[in-house]
């Protein structure tokens, strides 16, 4: 049975939910799926070697993917460049449908280019805005970003912007890669 490994870096849980939804959707196919949370430590090389496709999903914080995802890609770039790789960037800019592609997402483009990777599939996926759970500094900073990009600034706002149809469609596309 072909195998897909989904490796994710999540701070507040939304990227974890997206990774798990992709895995859940892949149950519709005869594919073995392993989901790895980088917070619990990086997978060893053997896990990647036995995978037919690797999916990396990382949350964006202040313009950059989480450090665990960056470390994972830096350490495994030589291996990942030789296999079908999917890179998913989770952020709030992608709440706008026209900011979800490689061409329109600066986060995606910089990410791929920085690691000199050649993913077969990329996407920017909207995450969650959760002001009540942010620390004061983060809340003020995100409000500033939202003001500049015409998003919600009410500090009581908690909105899941994730387009689950996009996530399921991506899972279908990922399934075609094995
Ligand atoms: C401190 C902080 C900084 C963030 N910086 C950005 C950013 O620079 N650009 C963006 O589009 N989204 C930004 N976000 C939104 C997150 O990417 C979004 O909430 C995502 O769902 C986080 O994923 P996670 O729940 O897996 O950690 C930020 C969120 C927080 C809390």
Coil, helix or strand for 28?
helix
Query: Tokens 């003020």 — which residue?
Result: 140
Answer yes or no: do 80 and 151 share one domain. Answer: no
Percentage of residues of the chain with pLDDT beyond 70: 100
Angle between helices 14-25 and 164-175 (to 10 degrees): 50
Whether the predicted pLDDT of 44 surpasses 90: no
Answer yes or no: do 87 and 141 share one domain. Answer: no
From 22, 38, 61, 147, the mutation candidate for ligand 1 (largest count of ligand atoms within 8 A of CB) is 61
Coil, helix or strand for 25?
helix
11 Cα: distance to centroid of ligand 1 (angstroms): 9
Angle between helices 67-80 and 106-115 (to 10 degrees): 50
Answer yes or no: do 121 and 132 share one domain. Answer: no
Query: Tokens 């992608």 — which residue?
Result: 94
Of residues 98 and 44, more confidence is placed in 98
Residue 158 has a CB neighbour count (10 Å cut-off) of 11
Identify whether the C-beta of residue 177 lies closer than 8 Å to the C-beta of residue 120. Answer: yes
Whether the predicted pLDDT of 67 surpasses 90: yes
Answer yes or no: do 110 and 151 share one domain. Answer: no
For the chain, what is the domain count? 2
Task: Write the pLDDT tens digit of every residue in 46-65.
Answer: 899 999 999 999 999 999 99
Domain extent at residue 156: 128-160
Answer yes or no: do 66 and 133 share one domain. Answer: no
Task: Write the pLDDT tens digit of every residue in 106-157.
Answer: 999 999 999 999 999 999 999 999 999 999 999 999 999 999 999 999 999 9
| pLDDT for the residue 94 | 97
Residue 86 has a CB neighbour count (10 Å cut-off) of 21
From 127, 131, 148, 160, the mutation candidate for ligand 1 (largest count of ligand atoms within 8 A of CB) is 127
């Amino acid at each position: 049975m072909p195998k897909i490994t989904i490796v994710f870096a999540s701070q507040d849980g939304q990227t974890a939910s997206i990774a798990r939804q992709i895995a859940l959707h892949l149950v519709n196919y005869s594919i073995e799926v392993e989901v790895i949370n980088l917070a619990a430590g990086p997978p060893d090389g053997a896990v990647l070697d036995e995978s037919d496709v690797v999916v990396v999903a990382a949350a964006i914080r202040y313009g950059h993917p989480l450090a665990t995802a960056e470390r994972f890609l830096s350490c495994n770039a030589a291996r990942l460049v030789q296999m079908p790789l999917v890179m998913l960037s989770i952020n709030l800019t992608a709440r706008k449908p026209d900011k979800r592609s490689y061409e329109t997402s600066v986060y995606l483009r910089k990410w791929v280019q920085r690691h000199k990777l050649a993913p077969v599939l990329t996407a920017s996926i909207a995450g969650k805005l959760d002001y009540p759970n942010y620390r004061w500094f983060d809340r003020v900073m995100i409000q500033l970003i939202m003001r500049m990009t015409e998003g919600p600034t009410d500090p009581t706002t908690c909105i899941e912007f994730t387009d689950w149809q996009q996530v399921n469609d991506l899972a279908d596309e990922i399934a075609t890669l094995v």
